[in-house]
Amino acid sequence: MQLHTVLGATGPIGTTIVGELTARNIPTRVVERTKDFPGRKTVKADLRDPAQTAAAIEGSTHVYLCVGLPYDSATWERDWPKIMSSVIAACKANGAVLVFVDNVYMYGPTPLAVPFDESHAQQPVSRKGRVRKHIANELMDAISSGSIRGLIGRSADFYGPYSRNNVTYFSVIERVLNGKAPQSLFPVDVPHSYAYVVDVGRALVELALDESTYGQVWHLPVSEPATLRQIVQIVNTALGTHHRISIMPSALRKFLALFIGPLKEMEEMLYQFAQPYVMSDQKFRNKFPHFTATTIENGLRAALDHFRMEPKKRR
């Protein structure tokens, strides 16, 4: 009997993992620090605490680490190493497979290869990237030593239902649905890879259920690269609107960053949008040729449908 435990179950990726496990009738445990997962018994645990983490993971055969922390470098530096160490220890004690949902911040120097794959050099140019490199290395060292079994699934910037902390949402979708013109912090004609969040959840479960994928890093499926201007065009077509996207002047952006924390935290990540940022998912596609990634058009339409049904959460 399997028991798949999702850490950070109410986040956008956690929600889609739970949905995929449910569709496959796989026993699932949902874990959150403070929130409740709608319609499910939710185990509460602070993953920085080894004892709480051990209790949350006890009896699990598979564990998905997809928690989200505030988008703050200092918080990441303080909390991510604690979380990773606690989860690795708990998985080791239970013989559980650990599936870590990672991002691509560790790749560098810039500009990255076009496209970049799992073998790209890891010389991160940001504090957040250095944190991700550190914790990914800790996990891969534990796997290589035989302490645990597991894998890393790396996602490009994801978008879609449930997902608000991303460029397509706060630059385009949220503004358009509130009757405002889209606005970007960076150039709008640079190709960028995006992952549809439902595809991310589906892909992670595929990887978890195939033991031949363990011990490796996998880039998760992406939609075709798109520019922000193209995304606005797709949204306009879907909604029958005629919005144009503007770019916030860099001087204004830097001034506002002095007072707005999230904007300040974005500064070190703007390199991802200053030149083509195209991720290769060919390794995954070769392994799972039956897997069909959602097109950017269909993904954006699904996101629009989802957020139009939740008007109160957009205010």
- Please write the tens of the pLDDT for every residue from 225-258: 999 999 999 999 999 999 999 998 888 888 887 8
The rounded distance, in Å, linking the Cα atoms of 40 and 49 is: 23
**SS3 label, residue 215:** coil
> Alpha helices, DSSP H only, in the chain?
12-23, 50-57, 73-94, 127-144, 167, 174-177, 197-208, 228-239, 250-257, 261-267, 271-274, 282-287, 296-308
Task: Tabulate helix, strand, coil % of the chain (nearest 5).
Answer: 45, 15, 40
* 50 prior amide bond cis, ω within 30: no
| CA-wise closest residue to 291 among 222, 214, 229, 225 | 222
149: Cβ–Cβ under 8 A, 6 or more apart, which residues? Answer: 97, 98, 143, 211, 214, 215
**Facing residues of 122 across strands?**
108
The rounded distance, in Å, linking the Cα atoms of 98 and 89 is: 11
The rounded distance, in Å, linking the Cα atoms of 163 and 110 is: 27
Q: By CB neighbour count within 10 A (0-12 exposed, 13-18 middle, 19+ buried), where does 220 fall?
A: buried
**SS3 label, residue 214:** coil
Question: Is residue 298 within 8 Å of 134, Cβ to Cβ?
Answer: no
The CATH architecture of the domain made up of 4-160+194-223+280-289 is 3-Layer(aba) Sandwich (3.40)
Give, for all 315 residues of the chain, the pLDDT tens digit: 899 999 999 999 999 999 999 999 999 999 999 999 999 999 999 999 999 999 999 999 999 999 999 999 999 999 999 999 999 999 999 999 999 999 999 999 999 999 999 999 999 999 999 999 999 999 999 999 999 999 999 999 999 999 998 999 999 999 999 999 999 988 999 999 999 999 999 999 999 999 999 999 999 999 999 999 999 999 999 999 999 999 988 888 888 878 888 788 888 888 999 999 999 999 999 999 999 999 999 999 999 999 998 755 443
